[in-house]
Amino acid sequence: EVQLVESGGGLVQPGRSLRLSCAASGFTFDDYALHWVRQTPGKGLEWVSGISWNSGDTGYADSVEGRFTISRDSAKNSLYLHMNSLRPEDTALYYCVKGRNWNYAIDPFDYWGQGTLVTVSS
Amino acid sequence: QSVLTQAPSASGTPGQRVTISCSGGSSNIGTNTVDWYHQSPGTAPKLLIYTDNQRPSGVPDRFSGSKSASSASLAISGLQSEDEAVYFCATWDDSLKTWVFGGGTKLTVL
């Protein structure tokens, strides 16, 4: 059974940093693309970032480009999102999402974690 | 403002057939395949249809997807109360170089 368990969310002040983690299990970690997708009541679902199976390709939404960095560690079967210069508009529930295949730019999202809540506020 | 346009709500009675639409443009739906997700309150989204019209294992054949030009549709036949959820469409946008989502359609079973 595929499991994606996010952690690292919380309340943080604007301008500060936070690192989200996602522990993956139930599939061959190195074979699949992974993503971070966030959700807010007002803006719905927004793709944040994706990374290909071998970390060779990464992509970011314009809203986070230059501030967020996605990475993966095959030794720990984990996905990460390093978030710098956080803004109030980054407040959202962040989901760790598995791609259906190796390419983050083509293959759909087939499994989602339960999410970790990030609140950016002073 | 979502790149893909969906009606905010839809409804139907048990047993009825309902269709949810998703409208985009030449750089997204017009070029790439469309996926559909559904989300019940308090839970994460789940993949319902991928690559325009493919169902993952376990999804009933009451759910079907189609695409024409820059629009896609999700049809649900034999509507059941457990189909009440929010339905999202998604695809890759070649111009934005990002995945884009519809705003979601909340389906109510009357």
User: β-strand B9-12 against B105-109: which pairing, if any?
Assistant: parallel
Amino acid identity of A8?
G
Residues with Cβ within 8 Å of B52's Cβ and at least 6 positions away in sequence, in order, are B33, B34, B65, B66, B67, B72
**Inter-chain CB proximity A114 and B100 less than 8 Å:** no
pLDDT in tens, A30-66: 999 999 999 998 778 999 999 999 888 999 999 999 9
DSSP string, A76-106: TTEEEEEE-S--GGG-EEEEEEEESSS-TTT
A100 and A15 in contact (C-beta within 8 Å)?
no
pLDDT in tens, A51-108: 999 888 999 999 999 999 999 999 999 999 999 999 999 999 999 999 999 999 988 9
Three-state secondary structure call for residue B32: coil
**Inter-chain CB proximity A108 and B32 less than 8 Å:** no
| pLDDT score recorded for residue A41 | 80
Q: Which of B44, B56, B104 sits opposite A113 (nearest CB)?
A: B44
For tokens 């294992």, name the residue.
B57
| pLDDT score recorded for residue A89 | 95
A57 in contact with B at a CB cutoff of 8 Å? Answer: no
